[in-house]
Each structure stands twice: as C-alpha cells, then as structure tokens.
Amino acid sequence: MSQLLLEIFGWLGYLERPAVVMQLSLVVALMLGTRAARRRRLLARLPVAGYSPVGLGLLALSAGLLGLLRQPTGLLQLLGAVWLGWYALQLLHRLLALWLPAQASHQLESRLLRPAYLVIAVMAVVREVDSLNDLAVAPLGELFGTQISAGKLFQAVVVIYVVLVGCGPPAAGLAWLVQRAVGMSEGSRKAMELMLRYAVVGLGLVAVAVHLGLNTTALIAVAGGLSVGLGFGIKEVFSNFVSGLWLLFEGSVRPGEVLMLDGDPCEVRKLGLRATLLWRDRDNAELLVPNQTFFTEAATTYTASDRMRRSQVSVGAAYHHNPAEVIALLEATARQVPRVLPDPAPKALLLSYGDSAINYALRFWIANPMDNVGICSEVNQAIWHAFKDNNIEIPFPQQVEYSMVWPPEQHRPNTEHH
Amino acid sequence: MMSALHAAMAKHSGIRATPQRRRVAVVSLSCAFGLTGCAGGIELPSLLYLAVGTNSDQTIDAELVEDIGARLKLLESSFRQIYPSTRFQFAAYPEDEIKPAMARRNGAGLGPDLLLINGDTAKQLVNAGLADPFPLTPTLANLFNPGDLERLRLPNGDLAGLPVIIHSQLACFNRKRLPDPPSTLQELLEASAKGQNIGLSIELSTLFWTAGSLGATDAWLRVVQDKRLSREDVNSIENWTTWLQNASDQQRITFYPNQASALTEFSTGRLDWISCSSTNLPRLRKSLGASLGVSNLPSGPGGSASPINRLRVLALGRSSSRQGRARALAFSRFSVNPLVQRSITLGSQVLLPANRFVKVPVQSSGTLQAMSDSQEASLRTAELANLLHVDDPRLDRAQTLITQLVFGEISPQGAAKALIALMEAKP
C-alpha cells in the first residue's frame, strides 16, 4: 500500500515541469472560468448548455497555440477529451430522458455510465504519467496468505460492482422468460428475480475470491469466526437478511403483495437485503420495515391465496321502512357499482336497532384490496342516491328538550303545562 | 490565513461569500498554489523519473517490478548520499512497446527523465526524436570500450545513451537432473539422448548463439556486409540450419515459441537445460534454489558459442525540467563510476559493468565467470550486431524462415539459401 501511495505522491514531481504546469493551469482556468460564466450568465444569449462547448473551443484554441509554439499539448488534449466526454454524458442524459423512465435513466447514469466514465478517465490520465502494468502489480498487502496487488483489487472491485449493479436486467429478463414459460404469478416472478440476483451476486463474490486466489480453508475459518461476530455485533443486519430470504422462499411477502400495516393496506414494493419497502396509498408514503418484523410478528395479508377483499359499509335507515325492502335495495345498489364483484354476491344484513335508526351493513367483494377506500366511497354514494330515489330516510338522531325544576319533587311534566 | 484571504476577496468583490462560493474559492486557490508550487511550506518532491525497458523474456509482474525496485533502491540510497532529497520513480515497459509509450508521454510533457533500455532501442528513440542524445565528455568516454560507444553512435556522431550494464546470455541447467552441463553441442545432443529435457527458444536472437558454435558467424557477417560468399561460407550456414533441424527432430529437445515459455517450463522443473539471460537468474534462483546451475553456452566444431549480450544504456528523456535534466545527468555519471559499477556487479551477480576499468571478480563466482566468458564470446558477434538492428525488417522475415526450418517445412539447404538471399538484400 505504501508503495502505491509513494508512487501516486511521486506524480507531484511533474509539477516541476513548466510545460505540465502550463497545460494544467490552462485546463483549470478554462473550466473554472466556464463555470463562473455559466453561473453569472455572462453571455446572456447563450443557453446554459452552450457554455461548455465555448470552454472546450477555447481549450482547443489554446492547444493549437501551444502546438504552434512547439510545446507539449498531450495532457491538455487528454483533459479536454475528458471534459468533452463529460459534456457528452450530460447530452446523453437528455436523450435517455426521452427513451427511459426518469428513475431508470437516473440509475443507469449514476450507477453505470458516470462511474464507468470516471474510472476510464482516471486510467487514461494515470497512463500518461505512469505505466499501468507497474501500478497493477503494486502490492497492497496480504489477505489470508495471498498477496493482493492493486490490479487484482481493482479488477475485483469492478467485477463486484458490475455484478451488483448489472445483474438486475438479466435476472429480470430470465424471470420474465420463466414466467412466460411456466405461467407463474407476478409476485412469484418478482421473487424469482430477486433470488436470481442474490444467487448471481453470491456466485460473483465467490468468483472474485477465487480470482484473487484467496485460500478457501482460510475463508471457511474466517466465516466460522464471523458467525460468532454475527451473533453479537451485526445480528440485526444478518437477521434481517436471512428473514428477507426466508420470506422470499415462503412467498408471504413478495413485491406486489398487500399487507395491512397499522390498519392501512400497503403494497410491497421491494424486498431488500435489510428492509421491505411498502407503499401506503392513503398518503403516498413509502415505509421501510425491517424484514424481521414480518418474520416474527403476525401480519394480515389480502394476497396470500387470492387478491380479493371482502369490504363493508354501514348505513342506518328509519324505523318505519321494511327491513326486507332496505336489504334488497342495498344488495341491488352494490351490484350496480362497477368495481364491486358480482360473485361472491353482495350481502346486506340488519345489524342492530339503534337509537334513531335501524343499522344495516352491506358487505361486498372487491378485486384489488388497495382500492378499498375508493370503492367504499362509490358504494356509499350509490346508497345515498338509491335511498333518495326510493324515499328511504336516513334519520338524524332525534332528541326532545324540556326544562327541569329543582328539586325534582316540584317538577311537573311538560304535558301538565299544556 | 485562507479564511482571511476569502474574507478579503469577498469584501473586495462586494460579493457575499456563500458556502458554495467559498468552496469554489478554496478549490481555485488550492489549484493555483498547487500548480505553481509556490505555496509557503509546500515543497515539490525532487524526483527522477525512470522508464525501464523489459525484454521479451521478461514478464512485467510483481516479482519483476520488485526486482527492479530493489536494484534501484540500492542505487537510490547511494545516490542520496550525494543528492539527499532525490527519490526515484520508475515505470516498466516492454522494450517493443516503449516507443509509442514515450511518444504519448513526451507529447504530454510527462516523459521520463531517464530511460534504462537496450542500446538499439536508445538509437531508435533518439532517431525518432523521443530521447535526447547523451552529452559525452572525454573523461566519461574514456570509461568505456570504444567499440561499445561506437555501437551507440548515430550517423551524425551523437551518442544515443550512456552504457551502464551488460546482460549476458548463458546456459542454465538443473543440477539435480544434470550434474555436468554440456560444454559442446555434441554433449547437448547426447544429454538429450540420455533422457535429459532440453529447451530452446525459436526466437532468432536467443538461438543465434548456435551459429557461433557451428562456425557460421563469420559467414553471416560477410552476408550482411554484402561481401562475396565462398563455398565454405555457404557450407557453414547450411551446417547451422542442418543442426537446427536435426535438433528439432530429437525427441527430448523442444523448441518453444518464445524464451518466456522455455523459462517457465525450466523453472517448474520440466526442462533440464535452457539458454537463458543473466536477468532471468534472480527469478530462477527463487524457483529452483540451489538446483540452478549456470554455465557457458556449449561450443561446437566452429568454436565457442556466439551469445548476444545486451548493452543497457541510460538515455535522456525529452520532457525533463532544467532541474530534472541536471538530476538525470548527475545520476548517469554516478551510475558509471567504478565504485557503483562494482557494487552493481557484486550485489546482483546478474549484471556486468559497462565501465571497462571495473574488473569482474570471476574467481569469486562461477556465474560471474560464465558471464565474463559470455561477454568475451559476444565480441564475435559485435560487428554483426552493429550492422543489424532490432527494428530491421529482414529480421522478422528471417524469424519466419527459422520457424519453418525448425518445423521441417523447408529443408536446411532451402532455408540457408533463403536466409542468405534475404540478408543480402538491403532493407
């Protein structure tokens, strides 16, 4: 490690060379100048995206002038190319926004394109000042008796990163194919996709360890030691991870499932390594719930065997209406609401005799548990219209007020005054 | 101090120093100070950038880099006694890739101060404007064999580089399997007949030693000099090609496509005898330990072998600053002084000094004796080496003919005829 750091520190010595300082100064000055000009809008007619090309043009002009003076310009050209590439990435951002959804475009840029570009740019600059071969074999230290070099570590990091970031689309594609072939449900497809990703990441990590030449016996010994550490130190993290895997295999908490959380139906969006991401329709909130919560606590789900939910609205009708007529009207009304399932048929019940009304319940089935509140609203509106059309009264609570005389022995009922 | 500067800047410009502006100011000032190196207390390291060329039988791996680093470390520590603050930083490049690498680095002003490369490569680089000629003083010139300097001269008289060390071509053998190394080509064939595994590289530069043993070097010199060949000359060349094809027919003599493959096989114990370069010895010692034996290449009916030794030189890079060039010249002069040359030779036991006044203590080591003998034998090919350069296009075509000969695709007579015709033609 110290050798590599010394090597990198040694590059500072190039600043002793006037030609290097001249090139670097030009690039830094033009980049900062372009940035300042863009922030202050010095060229009023120029769009924001037009400042970088102006800066790049000036850089090319400077390189040409230095070339005429027979001064080295390779570094200037390289840094200019890096700048140009970065600018091209910004242009690409606009194109990607046209083709891909915002989130996918953002992920592609931030997780793949920009990191890859930065790595390539840094390697290109390093190649100017040193031999990449030399740097690649620079020893960093020993790991389980294996000498780790900078190149090996770099390759390992790149492979792990690419596996972590890049295994998503292939896993999704394979899961989609299997879904089409076998006819599995959407939730199972998503579960399979996640399991494939975990499998690829696991295999990738093992492949990297083998590539590094790590001693497998030592790895097993370390894994044994780690298991004790896991028991004490990071057991929560590990417990959540294992819970997540278990839930995936069990199939009770998969992306797309609907669970009740604090009385609200929530849809599972993502089953992560540590936590499950749920979406609550009521307020569009996204909830991160540790996986082990679902593993250790009881949960209500509407999507375990099917996605149907039986819903209910309550309503009161005046005492003078025939309950049989009200019940028939309620059931007929529910059947007319489009999002109420005809089968099983809606069912109305007389629940109790209230203070001012007879209380009825109308129970019906819906296809999507997440739509419960909206469908209940539609049913309630339909009941109001049906009652109005059939002159069925939804009574207000009725109370009779009369004055009292104290002491009670002297009180005379109101009727006596009339 | 920095915050005072920022405050003063903000006050002067009338702009309120927001955190973002402050960040930009810090970056700008740091860049400015960093680039100019004028920040109080910040002193740029005094570095000597070296590019080291590696030959085709060397793979740039951790072991080689460590080996080069260790040798340079010895020189660096001695050099720092005179120039205390100087540090070395080296980058290794395969010799055949060094030209484009230097073109790229020089183009950016980031080329090395010094290049430790083969003499031939140095001439190519100076010719291509990628290295500066070495300013040789009469005192310095006196340290070297005139022949060595002559080989490094360009047509305009400039010196491509300062000779520093010599890599010798030797024979390496496994003592456990082959207690007595073959001293003649006949003994080499007999050893193979007795079951010893012999490895030869098909590369012309590493195979040419056999031409000396078979008495073909003088004939080859006359071919390259475009002199009229006698019947004996043609016969000697045919003898050489015949021996090569006969050798390839032997069951236990294997020709490898390159020297690196032969070295790998030898270091893993699958071969008992190979020709090797003195630069390979540290690695072979690590893998074979005391089993490694080093001897002269086998002689033959035509005399001693004709090893091709490599004269390594220090060439001046073109991107150095004034101080960098001064350091490069100081180190070049330092590296050829007798004391340093002697310590290089004794310390590594794999290099010979270029300074002719440094006597190699051959009595102290069989390896040094073999290297010294190899150096003497290589004088037979010095004139030929002077006429043929590594970038000569005829050598590529000659390599193809040798490959065809070894694989039996052409007859020894046909190969000899084609080789003569090829080398007689001017490139």
pLDDT in tens, A400-414: 777 777 887 887 766
Are residues A16 and B92, on separate chains, in Cβ contact within 8 Å?
no
B201 and B255 Cβ atoms separated by less than 8 Å = yes
User: Is A13 within 8 Å of B110 when comparing Cβ atoms?
Assistant: no
Lowest-confidence segment of B230-239, B282-291, B388-397 by average pLDDT: B388-397
Domain with CATH 3.40.190.10 in chain B: 46-167+310-359, 178-307+388-424
The tally of CA atoms less than 13 A away on the side-chain side of residue A217 is 1
**Cβ within 8 Å of residue A94, ≥6 positions away:** none
Q: What is the pLDDT of residue B12?
A: 42
Q: Which residue has the higher pLDDT, A135 or A216?
A: A135
Residues of B in contact with A25 (CB under 8 A): 32, 35-36
Residue A46 has phi, psi (to 5 degrees) of -85, 130
pLDDT in tens, B57-99: 788 888 888 888 888 888 888 898 888 888 899 999 998 889 9
Closest CA–CA distance from residue A44 to any residue of chain B (Å): 20
Separation of alpha carbons B396 and B401, rounded Å: 9
Element at B47 (helix H, strand E): strand B46-54
Work out the minimum CA distance from B256 to partner chain A, whole angstroms: 25
Domain B46-167+310-359 CATH assignment equals 3.40.605.10: no
Comparing alpha-carbon positions, the chain B residue that sits nearest to A25 is B35
B27 contacts in chain A (CB < 8 Å):
32
Residue ranges covered by each domain of chain A: 1-136, 234-301, 309-389
Q: Are A256 and A270 in contact (CB under 8 A)?
A: no
Does residue A214 contact residue A143 with C-beta atoms inside 8 Å?
yes
Q: Do A130 and B91 touch (CB under 8 A)?
A: yes
Judged by average pLDDT, the poorest of A6-10, A50-54, B116-120, B188-192 is A6-10
Which of the residues A14, A32, A140 would you substitute to probe the B interface, choosing the one with the greatest number of B C-beta atoms within 10 Å?
Answer: A14
Interval A45-60 mean pLDDT: 89
- The verdict on whether omega for the bond into residue A169 sits within 30 degrees of 0, i.e. cis, is no
Average pLDDT over residues B368-377: 90
Q: Quick: pLDDT tens for A311-334.
A: 999 999 999 999 999 999 999 999
- CB A74 to CB B107 under 8 A? yes
pLDDT at A414: 60
Does the ipTM surpass 0.85? no
Residue B409: what pLDDT? 92
Distances (CA, A) of B60 to A132, B65, B218, B388: 11, 7, 36, 27
Distance in angstroms (rounded) separating the CA atoms of residues A46 and A35:
13
Can you tell me whether residue A230 is helix, strand or coil? helix
Chain B nearest C-alpha distance from A113 (Å): 26
Chain B positions touching A17 (Cβ under 8 A) are 109-110, 319-321, 324
Contacts with B135 (C-beta within 8 Å, 6 or more apart), sequence order: B329
B327 touches chain A (CB under 8 A): no
What is the mean pLDDT of the segment spanning B218-240?
A: 90
The closest CB to that of A134, out of B65, B321, B323, belongs to: B65
Answer yes or no: are the C-beta atoms of B422 and B401 closer than 8 Å: yes
If pLDDT is split at 50, 70 and 90, which confidence band does A415 have? low
Residue among A216, A209, A220 nearest A152 (CA): A209
Q: Which residues of A touch B103 (CB under 8 A)?
A: none
Contacts of B54 in chain A (CB under 8 A): none
CB B152 within 8 A of CB B142: no
Q: Counting Cβ atoms within 10 Å, is residue A253 exposed (0-12), middle (13-18) or buried (19+)?
A: buried
φ, ψ dihedrals at B89, nearest 5°: -135, 125
**Could you tell me how many CB contacts below 8 A there are between chain A and chain B?**
113
Mean pLDDT of B394-422: 92
**In chain B, which residues have their Cβ closer than 8 Å to the Cβ of A26?**
none
How long is chain A?
418
Q: How far apart are CA A361 and CA A359, in angstroms?
A: 7
Q: Cβ separation of A75 and B109 shorter than 8 Å?
A: yes
Q: For residues A257 and A185, what is the distance between their CA atoms, to the nearest angstrom?
A: 11
Residue the block writes with tokens 């006597």: B359
Minimum distance, in Å, between the CA of residue A158 and any CA atom of chain B: 21
pLDDT of residue B294: 93
What per-residue confidence (pLDDT) applies to B413? 93
Q: Let me know: does A330 contact A383? Beta carbons within 8 Å.
A: yes
Q: What are phi and psi of B88, to 5 degrees?
A: -105, 145
How far, in Å, CA of B84 to CA of B357, rounded? 28
- A54-75 per-position pLDDT tens digit: 999 999 999 999 999 989 999 9
| pLDDT at residue A136, as a whole number | 85
Residue in B37, B319, B323 closest to A72 by CB: B319
Determine, for residues A23 and B108 on separate chains, whether the beta-carbon distance falls below 8 Å.
yes
Whether the CB of B93 is below 8 Å from some CB of chain A: the reply is: yes
pLDDT digits (tens, 9 = 90+) for B363-372: 878 888 999 9
Better-scored residue on pLDDT, B126 or A274: B126
Query: Regarding the domain delimited by A309-389, which CATH topology (the fold level of the hierarchy) does it fall under?
Result: Alpha-Beta Plaits (3.30.70)
- Chosen from B110, B115, B318 to mutate, greatest number of chain A CBs within 10 A: B110
Compare CB distances from A149 to B44, B62, B104 and report the shortest one's residue. Answer: B62
Write out the two tokens for A181: 């072939």
Residue to test with chain B: of A79, A133, A147, A212, most B Cβ within 10 A: A133
Superfamily of domain B178-307+388-424: Periplasmic binding protein-like II (3.40.190.10)
**3-state class (DSSP) for residue A329:** helix
Between chains, do B44 and A15 touch, taking CB under 8 Å as contact?
yes
Q: A13 vs B34: CB contact, 8 Å cut-off?
A: no
Stated pTM of the model:
0.72
Encoding tokens for residue B227? 């002199």
Query: Which residues from chain A sit within 8 angstroms of residue B107, using beta carbons?
Result: 72-74
B90 touches chain A (CB under 8 A): yes
Confidence of residue B38 (pLDDT cuts 50, 70, 90): very low
Residue B50: closest C-alpha in chain A: A130
Residues in chain B within 8 Å Cβ distance of A153: none
CATH topology of domain A234-301: SH3 type barrels. (2.30.30)
- Best to test chain A binding among B35, B46, B318 (most A CBs inside 10 Å): B35
Ranges of H-type helices in A306-391: 323-336, 372-389
Q: Cα separation of B315 and B246, whole Å?
A: 42
If you measure CA to CA, which chain A residue comes closest to B105?
A128
Q: Between B34, B101, B319, which is nearest A17 by CB?
A: B319
What is the average per-residue pLDDT within B111-117? 95
Q: CA-to-CA distance for B101 and B107, rounded, in angstroms?
A: 10
Read off the pLDDT of each residue in A156-161 and give the average, rounded to a whole number. 87
| Chain A interface includes B320 (CB < 8 A) | yes
